Amino acid sequence: MDADNSSRPHRRTALIASELSRYNVDTAALSETRLADEGSLNVMASGIYFFWKGLPANSRCIHGVGFAIGTKLLRTLPESPIAVSERLMTLRIL
């Protein structure tokens, strides 16, 4: 795992993506992500797309929320997840 102050979310997301793929999970809500700022990342090998929201990069990386969504399901969503704060994110599924 990366250190909390790492600017690279890739290793953590790769670990989560492999576990989600192993259990055939298409969507997961994530808490305590501890990732800075707001962003998204596609983990190509597993077909999982991550969305997250955390505190600004110059703050201590605490809290943080996100979603891990399979790319097949992502294509059917009417909109991307919306970050409200570092503790709340919405996802609309039809």
pLDDT in tens, 27-81: 999 999 888 899 998 888 788 999 999 999 898 878 899 999 998 898 899 999 9
- For residue 93, tell me if it sits in a domain: no
Hey, what are 92's tokens?
Answer: 């609309």
Please give the tally of structural domains in the chain: 1
- For residue 83, tell me if it sits in a domain: no
Hey, what are 62's tokens?
Answer: 């605490």
- For residue 57, tell me if it sits in a domain: yes
- Would you say residue 5 has pLDDT above 80? no
Q: At which residue do the structure tokens 């989560």 appear?
A: 16
> Could you tell me if 41 and 49 are in contact, meaning their C-beta atoms sit under 8 angstroms apart?
yes
- For residue 88, tell me if it sits in a domain: no
User: What pLDDT does residue 7 have?
Assistant: 55
- For residue 30, tell me if it sits in a domain: yes
- For residue 92, tell me if it sits in a domain: no
CB neighbourhood size of 28 (10 A): 17
Confidence of residue 2 (pLDDT cuts 50, 70, 90): very low
- For residue 90, tell me if it sits in a domain: no
Mean pLDDT value of segment 14-29: 90
- For residue 28, tell me if it sits in a domain: yes
Q: What is the residue range of 73's domain?
A: 10-78
